[in-house]
Amino acid sequence: MAQKVKLSTIAEALGLSTATVSLALRDSPLVADVTKERIKEAARELGYIYNRRAASLRTSRSGIVGVCVHDVMNPFYGEILKAIEHELDRNRQTFILCNHYDDLSKQRSFVDTLLQLGADGLILSPALGTPPADIRLAEENGLPAILIARTIDGAGALGFRGDDAYGMGLAVDHLVSLGHRSIAMIGGTRATSTGREREAGYLAGLARGGIAFRPEWRIEGPRSRHSGFDSAGPFLAIKDRPTAIVCFSDLVALGVMYGLARQGIRPGVDVAVVGYDDIDEAEIAMPPLTTVSNGQSEVGERAAGALLERLSGMEAREHTTLIRPHLRVRQSCGSPEAG
């Protein structure tokens, strides 16, 4: 490339000052329309590239928002992300993405990077074991944080997530209404708010149905398609095998279903399966998966909206907004409609 074109290049070419050029390029009403046109024209011709680092150094606004989740490849987060991306795009914010894979040090180094770049804000689904102090550190250094999917008490931040306990209750109630009296729960961990809430919802649902919980019904851990698949074996080994399963997530449920099918057990016929999240794939699974719709896009949209509001100066104090989930009945619990 030739000599770098900067504001002063344009200014000199036109016999104006850099101040005027700067103002004109940002459409300030302070500059006469004709002048503006000449300037923009020249900028285009010279191939001018706006230097955001310089501007941001001066204004201390970067137009960058960081988003950090467990793993983008998980469709649950993917769907939230799409909504965030859409909101941010409309507001001309650039977003930087990071997977923390529940590794606290990865999350920390990302927050650090954002701080160094002077990012305007952070949308975070916190890694396992994130201490509230980590969130406060960001806030104190001028990086407002919004929590999604998982929340952390005492962090003093806004959060948006589905009402997991209520949602899982819906799933259990549905199974009970279908006549099931022994219901297993596969997947999830108590180390996240999500895991705790969904388990609580499961237990509460059982209680409402007058069913005494049996510890062997609870297979903790799986949170991915693969680990769901692998838990088909342990499930089949439960003595007095339950007639129904609620899963921590759709991914786990899909894994469980194909794992069962591999062993000759037909999901939706031999055993009822309910998922959680209602990801896109649920409706075209085999069989179509009954699940709890968790409002991913609403979470993403509202989180982005809240951040944008904070950027425009709104104050906020700790508060978690619960999005209300609802049940989506398909064929994996038996086939009311034609399969």
Partner DNA sequence: CTGAAAGCGCTTACAG
The item of a copy of itself, DNA, none sharing an interface with residue 1, based on CB under 5 to 8 Å by kind, is a copy of itself
The item of a copy of itself, DNA, none sharing an interface with residue 115, based on CB under 5 to 8 Å by kind, is a copy of itself
How many angstroms separate the CA atoms of 244 and 199, rounded? Answer: 15
Whole-number minimum distance, CB 136 to DNA, in Å? 21
The item of DNA, a copy of itself, none sharing an interface with residue 20, based on CB under 5 to 8 Å by kind, is DNA
Q: Which residue carries 């793993």 as its tokens?
A: 71
Q: Which string of x and - marks every residue 35-74 that binds DNA (by CB under 7 A)?
A: x------------xxxx--xx-xxxx--------------
Identify which range of 155-163, 241-249, 277-285, 299-307 contacts a copy of itself by CB under 8 A: 277-285
Q: Does 141 bind a copy of itself (CB under 8 A)?
A: yes
Whole-number minimum distance, CB 25 to DNA, in Å? 6
Q: Does 140 bind DNA (CB under 7 A)?
A: no
The C-alpha angle with vertex 231 and arms to 327 and 262, in degrees rounded to 5, equals: 90
Structural contact between residues 83 and 296, judged by C-beta atoms closer than 8 angstroms: yes
How many angstroms separate the CA atoms of 237 and 219, rounded? Answer: 11
The item of DNA, a copy of itself, none sharing an interface with residue 262, based on CB under 5 to 8 Å by kind, is a copy of itself
Whole-number minimum distance, CB 124 to a copy of itself, in Å? 16
Q: Does 141 bind DNA (CB under 7 A)?
A: no
Q: Does 19 bind DNA (CB under 7 A)?
A: yes
Q: Which of 78, 156, 305, 334 touches a copy of itself by CB under 8 A?
A: 78
Q: Does 281 bind a copy of itself (CB under 8 A)?
A: yes
Q: Which of 13, 23, 46, 261 touches a copy of itself by CB under 8 A?
A: 261
Residues 209-248 that bind a copy of itself (CB under 8 A): 225-226, 229
Whole-number minimum distance, CB 119 to DNA, in Å? 15
How would you write the chain as a 3-class SS string?
CCCCCCHHHHHHHHCCCHHHHHHHHCCCCCCCHHHHHHHHHHHHHHCCCCCHHHHHHHHCCCCEEEEEECCCCCHHHHHHHHHHHHHHHHCCCEEEEEECCCCHHHHHHHHHHHHHHCCCEEEECCCCCCCHHHHHHHHHCCCCEEEECCCCCCCCCEEEEECHHHHHHHHHHHHHHCCCCCEEEECCCCCCHHHHHHHHHHHHHHHHCCCCCCHHHEECCCCCHHHHHHCHHHHHHCCCCCCEEEECCHHHHHHHHHHHHHCCCCECCCEEEECCECCHHHHHCCCCCEEEECCHHHHHHHHHHHHHHHHCCCCCCCEEEEECCEEECCCECECCCCC
Identify which range of 20-28, 85-93, 220-228, 289-297 contacts DNA by CB under 7 A: 20-28
Q: Which string of x and - marks every residue 11-50 that binds a copy of itself (by CB under 8 A)?
A: ------------------------------------x-xx
Residues lying near a copy of itself in the complex (CB under 8 A) are found at 1, 47, 49-54, 56-57, 62, 72-73, 75, 78-79, 81-82, 85, 94-97, 99, 113, 115-118, 140-142, 225-226, 229, 255, 257-259, 261-262, 280-281, 284-286, 339
